[in-house]
Amino acid sequence: MIQERYKIAKEQYAALGVDSDVAMQKLRAISISLHCWQGDDVGGFERAGSELTGGGIMATGSHPGKARTLSELRADIEKALSLIPGQHRLNLHACYLDNGGKFVDRNEISIDHFQSWVDWAKDNQMGLDFNPTFFSHPKAADGFTLSHADSGIRQFWIEHGIACREIAAQMGRQLNTPAVTNVWIPDGFKDTPADKKAPRERLTDSLDKIFARELPANCNLDAVESKLFGIGAESYTVGSHEFYMGYALSRKKLLCLDSGHFHPTEVISDKISSILNFIPELLLHVSRPIRWDSDHVVILDDELRAIARELVTGDFLTRTHIGLDFFDASINRIAAWTIGTRCMIKALLIALLEPTETLRQAELAGDYTARLAIQEELKTLPYGAIWDQYCLEAGVPVGFDFINELKNYENIILPARS
Ligand code: RNT
Ligand code: ZN
Count H helices, E strands: the chain? 14, 12
- pLDDT less than 70: residues of the chain: none
- Give dist(CA 156, CA 158) in Å, integer: 5
What is the C-alpha separation between 184 and 230, in angstroms, rounded? Answer: 12
What are the sequence ranges of the domains in the chain? Answer: 2-417
Distances (CA, A) of 366 to 265, 275, 314, 317, 370: 28, 26, 20, 28, 9
Q: How far is residue 84's CA from residue 73's CA, in Å, rounded to a whole number? A: 17
**Nearest by Cα to 283 from 243, 253, 239:** 253
Please report the pLDDT score of residue 415 as a whole number: 86
Ligand nearest to the backbone CA of 228: 1
At 114 the three-state DSSP class reads helix
Predicted local distance difference test score (pLDDT) of residue 29: 98
Whether residue 325 lies in the annotated active site? yes
Indicate which atom in ligand 1 lies nearest the CA of residue 258: 8
User: Catalytic: 234?
Assistant: no
Contact between 291 and 329 under an 8 Å Cβ cutoff? The reply is no
Atom of ligand 1 nearest to the CA of 225: 9
Active site residue 21: no
| CATH class of segment(s) 2-417 | alpha beta
Going by CA atoms, what residue is nearest to atom 11 of ligand 1?
A: 184
- Backbone Cα Rg of the chain: 22
Between CA 89 and CA 51 the distance in angstroms is 24
Query: Best substitution site from 134, 225, 256 to test ligand 1's pocket, by max atoms within 8 Å of Cβ?
Result: 225
Write down the pLDDT at residue 182.
99
Closest-approaching ligand to the CA atom of 284:
2
Beta strand pairing call for 292-296 and 288-290: antiparallel
Q: What is the DSSP string of 72-92?
A: HHHHHHHHHHTTS-S--EEEE
DSSP-derived letter for residue 341 is H
Surrounding residues of ion ligand 2, Cβ less than 5 A: 258, 285, 325
- Residue 35 known to be catalytic: no
Is pTM beyond 0.75? Reply is yes
Residue-level pLDDT at 418: 74
pLDDT, tens only, 113-156: 999 999 999 999 999 999 999 999 999 999 999 999 999 999 99
- Hey, whose CA ends up nearest to atom 5 of ligand 1? 325
Q: Ligand 1: list residues with CB < 6 Å.
A: 37, 42, 57, 93, 131, 184, 225, 227, 258, 285, 293, 325
